[in-house]
Amino acid sequence: MSALFTPLRIGNLEFVNRIVIAPMCQYSAVEGCMNDWHLIHLGHLALSGAALLTIEATAVLPEGRITYADVGLWDHATEDAIGRTLAGVRRWSKMPIAIQLSHAGRKASTEVPWKGGAQIPPGDAKGWEMVAPSAVPNVDGNRPPVALDRGGLAQIRDAFAAAAQRAARLGVDAIQLHGAHGYLLHQFLSPLSNRRDDEYGGSLENRMRFPLEVFDAVRTIFPGDRPVSVRVSGTDWVEGGWNIEQTCAFAAMLEAAGCDAVHISSGGLHPAQRIPVGPSYQVPLARTVKTAVGIPAVAVGLIAGFDQAEAIVATREADMVGLARTILYDPRWPWHAAAELGAQVQAPFQYLRSQRTGR
Ligand SMILES: Cc1cc2nc3c(=O)[nH]c(=O)nc-3n(C[C@H](O)[C@H](O)[C@H](O)COP(=O)(O)O)c2cc1C
C-alpha cells in the first residue's frame, strides 16, 4: 500500500491521497478578476488526480497585490470572477479547492516577473503605496513602505475576514493564509522586517500577535467544518532572522488557535538569504515542525520524484507533499506516480482510453 496514496481526513475534508497542488501566482488577472486563463490553468490541474488544488495568492485588498495582475477577493466583481471560474472547474472535477489569502505588504506594487519584477512607484498607473510593519524596504535602495498604524492593522485584519467570508460563500473547501515568502504576515514575524516598538514588534510574542489576530478573524468567520491552514517560511536563511525554533513556537500557537495544518516553505524575506537548494531541501523544516505540533504538516520544494514523495510520507517526515513547478511541468504527475507506486487516481471518463493497457 503506497503511503503517498493513503487517504487523509482534515476536519470534514477527505483527501484521496497526500498530494497537494501548491498555490501558484499566474499574474494574469485584470483589476483582480480571474478570467479564462484561470479556468484553463486551474481546470487542467483539477484533472491531475491530486488531493487538493490551492488557488494562487489572492489579495484581500487591491494594495495587497504583488503585481497589478494578481487575483483578488475584495469586492463583488472579484468574487463573481472566482465564482465563474469555480463553476467551470467544479462542473468537471470533484477535487477539493483551497484558496490562499494574502497581503504582499512591502513586496507589493511590482511589475510581473516576466517583465523583470521591479518596483512600480505610486505615481504610475500600475503602482501604489506599499504598507508594512515598519518603514524598512525589502531590498536596500528600494522605496520604503509606510509603517502601518492601528487603523491600518484593523483594516487589513478585517479585509482578511471579509475575503474569508466571500470564500465561504463561493463554496471554497479550505483557506490557506499566506504567512511565508516575505509577504505581510511574514514581515510581522521576522525581526529583520519588523522593527516596531509597540505590542506588535520586539519579542516573539509581539511579532506573532498580528498574524495570530488575522488567523483568529479568519477562523471565526470561515465555517468551522472547513479547514484553515497557514503557510509559513520555516526560516529566513539569514543569521538573526526568523528561524525554525520560532516557526515551531508559531505553529504551536496556531494549533492552539484551531489551525488545521501547516505548510512549511522557507525564505523570501531578505536578500542576504543563502538557501541550500536541492531535492527535498525544505523537508527537514517540516519534520522539525512536526515535533512541535500534532496537526498535519505539508512539505514542499523540489519534490519531483515518485519514490522521493513516497518516502517523505512513508517515513513521516511530512503528512503531505506540495507540488508547484513539478505539476506545472507534468500536470498528470499524480497519474504517473500512481502507476509507478501501484495505486490509482480518479481520471475523467473522457480520458479513460489513455491507459496504456487499454489500447
Ligand atoms: C509560477 C509559480 C508561482 C508561485 N506562486 C506562489 C503563490 O501564489 N503563493 C505561494 O505561497 N507560493 C507560490 N509559489 C511557490 C510554490 O508554491 C512552491 O512553494 C515553490 O515553487 C517550491 O515548490 P516546487 O519546487 O514544487 O516548485 C509559486 C511558484 C511558482 C513556480
Over the stretch 71-118, which tens digit does the pLDDT of each residue have? Answer: 999 999 999 999 999 999 999 999 999 999 999 999 999 999 999 999
Rounded distance from Cα 189 to ligand 1 centre (Å): 20
pLDDT tens profile 48-73? 999 999 999 999 999 999 999 999 99
d(C-alpha 71, C-alpha 55), whole Å: 9
d(C-alpha 354, C-alpha 359), whole Å: 8
Mean pLDDT of the chain: 97
- Ligand 1 pocket by C-beta < 6 Å: which residues? 22-25, 56-57, 100, 178, 180-181, 231, 265, 300-303, 323-326
Residue 282 alpha carbon, nearest atom of ligand 1: 22
- Give the three-state DSSP class for 232: strand
Mean pLDDT of 179-200: 98
pLDDT, position 330: 97
Catalytic residue among 183, 200, 281, 351: 183
Q: Are 212 and 255 in contact (CB under 8 A)?
A: no
Q: Are 74 and 162 in contact (CB under 8 A)?
A: yes
Candidate from 27, 58, 321, 325 with most ligand 1 atoms within 8 A of CB, to mutate: 325
Residue type, 228: V
Mean pLDDT of 259-287: 97
Residue 231 alpha carbon, nearest atom of ligand 1: 11
Residue 178 alpha carbon, nearest atom of ligand 1: 11
**pLDDT of 359 strictly over 60:** no
Look at ligand 1, atom 21, and give the residue with the nearest C-alpha. 324
Cell for 225?
467544518
Write the CA distances from 293 to 79, 271, 287, 326, integer angstroms: 34, 30, 10, 28
Backbone angles phi, psi at 292, to 5 degrees: -100, -20
Can 351 be counted among the known catalytic residues? no
Rounded distance from Cα 52 to ligand 1 centre (Å): 15
In this prediction the pTM is 0.98
Residue identified by cell 489576530 is: 213
Look at ligand 1, atom 22, and give the residue with the nearest C-alpha. 301
pLDDT tens profile 16-41? 999 999 999 999 999 999 999 999 99
Partners of 52 in the β-ladder? 20
Cell for 88?
467551470
pLDDT, position 357: 64
Confidence band, pLDDT 50/70/90 cuts, at residue 228:
very high
- Give the three-state DSSP class for 204: helix
Q: Are 321 and 300 in contact (CB under 8 A)?
A: yes
Mean pLDDT of 166-181: 98
Q: Are strands 146-147 and 174-179 parallel, antiparallel or unpaired?
A: unpaired
Residue 325 alpha carbon, nearest atom of ligand 1: 27
DSSP characters over 235-249: --SSTTS--HHHHHH
- DSSP label at 189? H
- DSSP label at 349? G
